[in-house]
Chains A and B, each alone.
Chain A
Amino acid sequence: MLLQLKNIFKWVNTGGQRIFLLKDINLEVEEGEFISIMGPSGSGKSTLLNVIGMLDTFDEGEYHFLDESVHTLKEKYRSNLYKEYIGFVFQSYHLLDDLTVAENLEMPLLYKKVKGSERKALVADILDRFNIVGKKDLFPSQLSGGQQQLVGVARALIASPKLILADEPTGNLNSQQSEEIMELFKKLNKENGVTIIQVTHSEKNAAYGSRIINLLDGRKV
């Protein structure tokens, strides 16, 4: 089992009132799964994904990732954990405008303290795999939206994570571009055994996955 959420609650207090963002979420994810999270706007999809990605905390419940109990870990160890095993893909790509494509791809490796020569090799390898060798010295602003998201996926993959979390990865793309990205996810999932959890509004995209989780007002339905 890759990860397990047990009775997760998350809330915020506003004006003396407790508003629940996540209510009693239980979830088990096996390695190699491809899960889609769906639900109306404001139902807590992003919140859940951030909790799984350890970017956000929760108030109650247990979270086990591989053999670690995430809820008991200090920030530093948590960041080591997701640095090692998790890659993120965002709706608005979140590439750094000041860095070239190659440099954007290199960045996660820098934070993992990968050696220089190895970094070069990994970057060259992924550029090749995604067919964007010709774009490696361009800046994000010089790419189309689809190309930028391609780089975003490539960046998430470069450190060979076990789990990819994608929050509406195709939200800003046209249908043809979305299809390409979804095909890519499918291929990664089938051929490389990468676990994928994605948030999506589109039934069509959700169909690429092996399982669908529906949220409503922070609760699994």
Chain B
Amino acid sequence: MFKNYLKIAWRNLVKDKTNTSLNVIGLSVAFAVAVLLGMAALFQLSFDGFHENGASIYKIVKTQQTPRGPEAGTVQPAPLAPSLEAEVPGVKRITRFLQDGALAIQGDKEIDIDIIWVDEGFFSMFSFPIIKGDGNTPLAQLSSVVLTKKAANNLFGSTDVVGKTFHLLVKGKEVPFTVSAIADDMVAETNLEFQMAGRFESHADYLDNKEQWDSQYHDVYVELEEGVSSTSFESGSRGFVDLHFKDAIEMLKRDGASADENGRYVNLELVPLADVHFTSLKNGYVSVSRSLPYLILGVAFLILFIACVNYINMSIAKSAKRLKEIGMRKTLGAQKKQLFFQFWTESLFIFLISMGIGVILSFVFVNDFKTIFNTQVSVDMLLRPSFLVGLLAMVMLITVFVGGYPAILMSRLGTIQSLKGKLESTGNNKVRDVLMVFQFGIAIALITGTLVLWGQIDYMRNKDLGYDKEQVVSFPLNGKRNSNDVIELLREELKGNPDIVSISGADINLGLGRDGSRSSSKIGFEYKGRSVTTNFLVVDHEFVQTLGIDMVLGRNFKNASDSLGVVINEAMARELGEEDPLSAQLEISNGVHIPVLGVVKDYNFKDLDRAIEPITFYMSKEWGLSYAFAKVAPHNMASSYEALENTWKKLEPNAAFLGSFLDENVDRTFNREKTTAKMVASGSVLSIILSCMGLFAMSLLIVSQRTKEIGIRKVVGASVASITYILTKDFLKLVLLAFLIASPVAWWIMGEWLQNYAYRIELSIWFFVAAGAIAVLIALLTIGTRTIRAARVNPVKSLRTE
């Protein structure tokens, strides 16, 4: 019997080639896209999911109630972790975690290396497999370090280097470290990545900060004892917090902060390791949001849905052609069940073929997918048992519902009606119409989303940020020389080049540079009996003119030794609340009063999703600079860039030149938006193509079913135009209905999304009109050609084919 089903299934599929291939193409593409997007989403969702103890590991977040509202931060003071371990019950292991980079020196090799400084138990807490050396206590010695396979190969040219020594350049001095173990190379799904792991106590700043509770500069991860819950630990840590943050709490009270619902000012909160990748500290609260991976999964699901709708609609429409067969089989003794299985087998056939092609397609395109969408999924993910099982389950589910529904409809038809060849079913058309409205609704919503995303990105790219981003190059000072000296040397070297307008430096970059690192620095101090918080930027004296930031009051730094004052922005001036900001004296460190020299116009030194905060520029030789900024003339920009690179190579022959224009840096900060936009855009393109494939197939079927009607109408004198209109209007109505339903939904979703940005576009009606127009136009083109052709056929011919 089954063989018979297969045979009939095969013949039916072959007979209707257009329909079958439309179905197979649509489903294959949808499956391929679903597999790729599914992998991308799972990749995100599985971040740091591989640690065996992961379920009991947490990141510590400190939240405090300030007069301006709650604030949350992950950076902690150095004594916190050891004190927590000693004083609060329930800690199994705890580690500080400081990400850093330094120049590693081995023989004549000098390489920039990514370092994490951690506590002894790090490798027992986290599951980074050690492949050589001491796997149990690799960090028992203060001078011990763990290198990854790749880092060892880069530095030593081999991984057989356990016991060997190399040097790190720390504050201008070469400090020796000994390799105790080699770790396997990192999987991409971790936020704890490193090339070298060393003991926290060996970090250059440790000795100064060992006992400092008010200097916060690293993360802390804690592993709780079995049976200890995060909430019981959080409440257990309250006494500890009150003891160690006593001064800070006093100050918050005095400044008029209001306590939280538990009457507290400072709390330690635990964020589960699995949530860390999705945590943001928005508005002072820890918020965990997996919306991006779920958005990706959502797009994948929608595309599958659209392809499945096509399949259902085509099967139902096609069933009209098979009425005779159904009736005949029934009179020959076929039961409903048997007919159901026959039709279902046909579906299974199509789904399995499409699935196969889909998986092959996803293999073929996985590399393009990775580059275009900026994700690090790999083919191995496809082969993981959990993924395969999920995939199979999905196909089975789809086959049951999508293949089952038309099969049930067909097997239920009455014998006599089927034999007469007439469907008495207006009900089926209703299902079809609802499904098509859904399809086009999805497509229209995705198109709207794409347009709005593009609009916002375009807005962010072109917004005047208050500084000159087109003509300024920044590059990290990642060499051996003292940073202030090297800025002077650069000035000296490039003095004769008329295209280099000016050069300066700061300790924080603007946007995201090619070194891929971002930081921010904030300080708080007392001002007239209140505490004031400001971003803090160590600069060189020519910073303001190099960046082209406008002065609104007072003056800029005059020269390198003009370091007895600060320059602030307008937001900071407002924060100080002085009528004349220039009269303010800031007591940034105890007992020293620093005058405000000038005020610059507000500029967006952080991403556009935030309002401009107060910032203070300060010059200090001790604190050093991390980035150089060079303003170039508007012409010959390429050769100016080259001149910078060559000069840098000359000054620091062993350091890479990672310069880029600030507009590129700013562009990089919305990589996430660009990726989202690309995903939604390709989703919308695919969904409109798939929907139109369905529409096309439906119009073919409808036209063939109405051949006789068309013929009769023409015989009695209908024009080509009126017939085209009759054939098209039903579908167009559906697309318009879809537009009316989808637009408010898209309006709401995109409105919510834009709320994330302090600087954003207005949701104009034109986004929606454009999306609707695009959908209608494409739909018209899809059905138009076929229907016009059908309408033009000689009526005698169409009547005879009946």
Question: Using a CB–CB distance below 8 Å, which chain A residues touch chain B?
Answer: 50, 53, 55-56, 76, 79-80, 82-83, 88, 90, 94-96, 98-99, 107-108, 110-113, 155
Contact = CB atoms under 8 A, between A and B. Distances in A.
B12 to A, nearest CB: 6
A88 B329 CA distance: 11
A110 B1 contact: yes
Contact of A107 (B15, B332, B415, B419): B332
B331 interface: yes
**Most-contacted residue by chain B among A79, A80, A95 (CB, 10 A):** A79
A56 B330 CA distance: 12
B333 interface: yes
A94 B11 CA distance: 18
Contacts of A95: 328
Contacts of B338: 111
A113 B334 CA distance: 11
Nearest to A53: B331
B247 interface: no
A111 B11 contact: no
Contact of A76 (B1, B324, B335): B335
B8 interface: yes
A55 B331 contact: yes
B419 A94 contact: yes
A50 B415 CA distance: 10
Contacts, number: 51
B328 A94 contact: yes
A98 B331 contact: no
Given A96-B325, A99-B8, A79 B335 contact: yes
B513 interface: no
A50 B327 contact: no
A23 B460 CA distance: 81
Given A55-B330, A55-B415, A76-B335, 13 more contacts: A79-B330, A90-B419, A94-B324, A94-B331, A94-B419, A98-B15, A98-B325, A108-B333, A110-B4, A111-B334, A111-B335, A111-B338, A155-B332
B489 interface: no
Contacts of A76: 335
B327 A98 contact: no
Nearest to B333: A83
A53 B333 CA distance: 11
A115 to B, nearest CB: 11
Contacts of A98: 8, 11-12, 15, 325
B416 interface: yes
Contacts of B324: 94
Interface in B1-42: 1, 4, 8, 11-12, 15
Contacts of B328: 94-96
Interface string B322-360: 001101111111110010000000000000000000000
Interface of B is mostly: helix
Contacts of A107: 329, 332
Contacts of A110: 1, 4
Nearest to A113: B1
**Most-contacted residue by chain B among A50, A94, A108, A113 (CB, 10 A):** A94
Interface in B202-248: none
Contacts of A82: 333
B322 to A, nearest CB: 10
A30 to B, nearest CB: 24
Contacts of B330: 55, 79
Contacts of A55: 330-331, 415-416, 419
The 6 closest A-B pairs by CB, nearest first: A83-B333, A111-B333, A108-B332, A98-B11, A94-B328, A55-B415
Contacts of A83: 332-333
B416 A56 contact: yes
**Most-contacted residue by chain B among A55, A82, A112 (CB, 10 A):** A55
A10 to B, nearest CB: 12
B14 to A, nearest CB: 9
A155 B335 CA distance: 18
Interface in B734-772: none
A74 B756 CA distance: 63
30 contacts: A50-B416, A53-B331, A55-B415, A56-B415, A76-B335, A79-B330, A79-B333, A79-B335, A80-B333, A82-B333, A83-B333, A94-B324, A94-B327, A94-B331, A94-B419, A96-B329, A98-B8, A98-B15, A98-B325, A99-B11, A107-B329, A107-B332, A108-B332, A110-B4, A111-B329, A111-B332, A111-B333, A111-B334, A112-B333, A155-B332
A113 B333 CA distance: 11
A111 B331 CA distance: 10
A82 B335 CA distance: 12
Interface string B407-429: 00000000110010000000000
A35 to B, nearest CB: 19
Contacts of B331: 53, 55, 88, 94
Nearest to A56: B416
Contacts of B415: 55-56
Nearest to B421: A92
Nearest to B14: A98
Contacts of A88: 331-332
